[in-house]
Amino acid sequence: MSNGRSFISNAREEQQQYVSGLLRENEKLRAAVAIAEERQRAALGELQRLRARFEEVAVENQRFLEQHQHIEEQSSNLANLYVASYQLHTSVERDAVLTAVQEIVVNLIGSEQLAVYERNDENEFELAVSFGLDDWQLLTTIGGEYAVEKLGEGHIFRDVEERQPLTACIRLQVEERVIGAVLVFRLLEHKAALQPIDYELFDLLAVHASVALYCSSLHARSMVTA
Amino acid sequence: MSGKKILLVDDSSTILMMEKFILRNDPYRLITASDGEEAIRKAASEQPDLILLDVIMPRMGGFEACRLIRENEASKDIPIIMVTTRGEAANVETGWLSGCTDYVTKPINATELLAKVRNLLADTAEVAS
């Protein structure tokens, strides 16, 4: 009987020890879970911070990309203007200046139809050079001198979408005297519309082609008198 | 990309100057030719990494030059970008048939040209390595 009591007592004691052990283990696990949860919260916070930073960097990156593209575009525009100016003033020979005007219109503006008129000693506009046009087009479609007289007061731009034959008339003027005009007709087929740089090139032609042509005529006269 | 050699072929000094300006900020060595015949000679002798080839030139145009560059063992693998004022499909098709790798239209868009040049030169670097 006493052996039976002792056995039960031992069993209870073992059970209590076992339960105590389980409770301690449970306590440890709870503490570990709490630490893990804390770490998880910290990690989530860090993840959120990194995501926000990533978005900031992406926005910044996009801004730099846009700035880079803008700078490349500006650089290209400046190159266009520099090259055009350089070519116009490379020579004082009239033919070379007219070739430079033609190259600028064809290669930098993008039209394979142009005509350059100069005012002669009789004060009449005379066709100096044309490219990609025949006389019939000059005289009947556009009206040649008529266009220069009527439109020579400045740039006239037609709606390029409608593919009007005359895209621009650039007045060539030295001080107050109009010495000629550059007529730019159709743009190339793949060029949908004039770009901002084209207007700057028109302005550049208006000033620099005028001066270059004027200098070439002075040079020609000086050569004759010499 | 450093030191890559590009052959610029055009009879127009305006275009050659523009191309040099556009490519000047990247470390390329630029050489020039003013017609198709000179382009063929320099493609074989100079072994450029890339050729920018104008279509309409005196003596020999770009399409024929492109075809002959492709027929020459010494230059057949050099990438060629045709530079053309004619952007219409038939003209582009002729360029592909003559063996060009890509094309750009005039007036040259600097961003487009730079992207194509960098892309093709990166490709050749990968093939070489």
pLDDT, tens digit, for every residue of A94-103?
999 999 999 9
Task: Report percent pLDDT > 70 for chain B.
Answer: 91
Residue type present at position A216 = S
Residue type present at position A186 = R
pLDDT for position A197 = 92
Distance from C-alpha of A15 to C-alpha of A85, rounded to nearest angstrom = 101
Q: Reduced to 3 states, what is the DSSP secondary structure of residue A177?
A: strand
Burial class (CB in 10 A: 0-12, 13-18, 19+), A215: middle
Q: Which tokens belong to A226?
A: 């010499």
pLDDT for position A140 = 46
Rounded average pLDDT over B56-66:
92
Average pLDDT of the residues of chain B: 89
Which candidate in B10, B15, B17 is best for mutational testing of the A interface (most A CBs within 10 A)?
B17
CA atoms within 13 A on the CB side of B57: 29
Q: Which residues of B touch A107 (CB under 8 A)?
A: 12, 14-15, 18, 85, 106-107
Instruction: Please count the residues of chain A.
Output: 226
Higher pLDDT, A220 or B77: B77
Q: Is A72 on the interface with B (CB under 8 A)?
A: yes
pLDDT for position B1 = 47
Confidence of residue A137 (pLDDT cuts 50, 70, 90): low
